[in-house]
Structure 1
Amino acid sequence: MTGTAISSRDNPLFKRLKKLAESARARREAGMTLLDGEHLLAAYLDAGGQPHTLVRAASFDAGRFERFSGQCPHAKAIVLPDALFAALSPVASPTGMLAEAARLVPPAIGTTPLVIVLEDIQDPGNLGSMLRTGAAAGATLAVLSKGCHDPWSPKALRGGQGAQFVLPMAQAVDVQDWCAQFRGRSLALALTECRSLFTCDLTGPLAVIVGNEGAGLSDAVRAAANATVQIPMPGKVESLNASAALAIAVFEAVRQRLA
């Protein structure tokens, strides 16, 4: 059997992992998080990270686990009964493998700024998806307001699929102040504007600002942006998902820059 077996909830290591799974404060103070599943661990390793602890459920394939542990020579390997592992997993159907890992700080990206600015995004899956979109579009920075969900929570990491390892992030930011000092064009996406996103020149330094899933952007942040624009929607729906709106905006910028 690969790894040290732990069978008690009172074990200090299990308690530490449980706190990381459940508490943003614990993750922030420790500078650590939990990576759920093989894909996230592989992405973390590709980004140059090395986990502190590898965890597998007793039913998880020991050979697959051993292949990962071979790439992590300094990580402590432990095995948990399936029920105990499920208590750590952020999903209803556990993947069978977790890693305790330090947060990575990606290097600054030295190209024309393309910044995603997120105000009060509270759903972890949505937040992770937005970060993934930004990373895929080659965004140079993600700016997260104080009201955003923790981007290093297990569910946000699962949604990001490794975006947090490669996309520089600024957290707990006052978006109004940030817009005031940004040396570029800041565009707020909103429903009630007449001007179309597709008429804008997005080739220069750009920040795309998206608001909360339900309430949208605050009046203060809309006022702080250089302009407020909408995505034309000829169909019979009221709005787009915030993550979809962001994707359209940043990939329109990509399209213009490639052209």
Structure 2
Amino acid sequence: MKLITSRENALYKELKHLATSSQARRKANCTLLDGVHLCQSYLEQIGQPQWCVVSEASQHHPEIAALLVQTEHQLILADALYHALSQVEHGVGIFFVAQTPSLVLPEQITQTAVALDNLQDPGNLGSLLRSAAAAGIRHVFCSTGTVSAWSPKVMRAGMGAHFLLEIHENVDLLSLLKNTTIPVLATSSYATQTVYDCDLKQPLVWLFGHEGQGLSDELMAYATEQVTIPHQGQIESLNVAACAAICFFEQVRQNLK
């Protein structure tokens, strides 16, 4: 294990650039996984990270020590240096630097998938990805305007779901849906059919849009069906992550019958 104590260390400067710049992470095709749970999930589902980085004070923590035994490329940072990089307040003192996957966009969607247009909130996206993975959905397609799925905030909200999904980013959803032969379902508060009345016992594409503006008219035109989620009280609409979770697990319920 290599101990770094100087802010002038070249490798430390590289790590700080990655920790503080989304552009640097995109250019390097990597992300930061902060915390024991994310790191453990990555080891179990993907394999070795580029770097396992721990704070000097945390290296003997039982959970971190167990992860260090499993990793090959390790860095120990003096505590002050580590805390300047970590984005988690009161974290346990470990993060991975890991490659983001490069995937080939399929010509057609044949399995149940999620298409996301212009989602902006990292927490919403991470929660939605977690629900999708829990519902057994594997394929997610994000439009160019959607927040980066591999940003550290989305990663933390996803709680390891990313490693169970194939996430395609910067997708032209109009072109993708144009070639889709399975049903495309979009939620709308103006729809008359509820999600509970819809036949979900088949592969389909779930289509969700921007938190405030919803789906564009162009994308909504590709929806085979529009469905609504009935709710009581005076709340006008549901959070998009909650809405997606209800849809995903209604599909699970129907397929378990």
TM-score by length of 2: 0.91
Offset, 1:157: 0.8
Q: Distance in 2 between matches of 1:36 and 1:178?
A: 33
SS at 1:139 equivalent: coil
1:61 positional shift: 4.4
Partner of 1:25: 23
The residue identity in structure 2 corresponding to 1:83 is A
Retained in 2: the 8 A contact 1:107–1:168?
no
Deviation at 1:9, TM superposition (A): 2.8
After the TM superposition, which segments of 4 or more aligned residues of structure 1 sit over 6 Å from their partners? Answer: 105-108
Aligned 8 A contact 2:138 2:164 in 1 = no
Check if 1:93 corresponds to 2:90: yes
SS at match of 1:234: coil
- SS in structure 1 of the partner of residue 92 of structure 2: coil
Question: CA offset at residue 167 of structure 1?
Answer: 0.5
Judge conservation of contact 1:34–1:99 (CA < 8 Å) in 2.
yes
> SS state of the match for residue 59, structure 1?
helix
2:96 partner letter? A
Per the TM alignment, residue 46 of structure 1 is displaced from its structure 2 partner at its CA by 0.7
Paired residues of 2:142 and 2:169 also in contact (CA < 8 A) = yes
Q: Secondary structure at the match of 1:148?
A: coil
C-alpha distance in 2 between matches for 1:106 and 1:44? 18
- 1:107 deviates by 11
Question: Post-superposition shift, 1:206?
Answer: 0.7
How far, CA to CA, are the matches of 1:196 and 1:189 in structure 2? 9
Shift of 1:15: 2.1
Give yes or no for the alignment of 1:68 onto 2:67: yes
TM-superposition CA deviations, 1:65-109 (whole Å, max 9, x none): 33212111x31x22223332222222233331111112246999x
Q: CA-atom RMSD, angstroms?
A: 2.1
Question: Alignment identity in percent?
Answer: 40
Aligned partner of 2:130 among 129, 132, 155: 132
Contact 2:38/2:156 (8 A) holds in 1: yes
* C-alpha distance in 2 between matches for 1:198 and 1:29: 43
Counterparts of 2:239 and 2:227, CA distance in 1: 16
- One-letter identity of the residue aligned with 1:99: F
Deviation at 1:216, TM superposition (A): 1.6
Q: Which of 41, 44, 53 is the equivalent residue of 2:42?
A: 44
The number of residues matched between the two structures is 253
* CA–CA separation in structure 1 for the residues paired with 2:16 and 2:120: 22
Q: Distance in 1 between matches of 2:86 and 2:212?
A: 28
How many Å separate the matches in 1 of 2:7 and 2:151?
A: 21
Q: Determine whether 1:231 maps to 2:229.
A: yes
CA contact (8 A) 1:105 1:165 kept: no
Structure 1's 235 and 42: CA in aligned 2 closer, same or farther, altered over 3 A?
A: same
Structure-2 separation of matches of 1:126 and 1:186: 21
CA positional deviation for 1:11 = 2.0
Unaligned runs of 5+ in 2: none
In structure 2, distance between residues paired with 1:136 and 1:151: 17
Contact in 1 for aligned 2:34/2:95 (Cα 8 Å): yes
Q: Give 5+ residue unaligned stretches, structure 1.
A: none
Give the equivalent residue in structure 2 for 1:103.
Answer: 100
* Match in the other structure for 1:146: 144
Conservation of the 8 A alpha-carbon contact between 2:186 and 2:220: yes
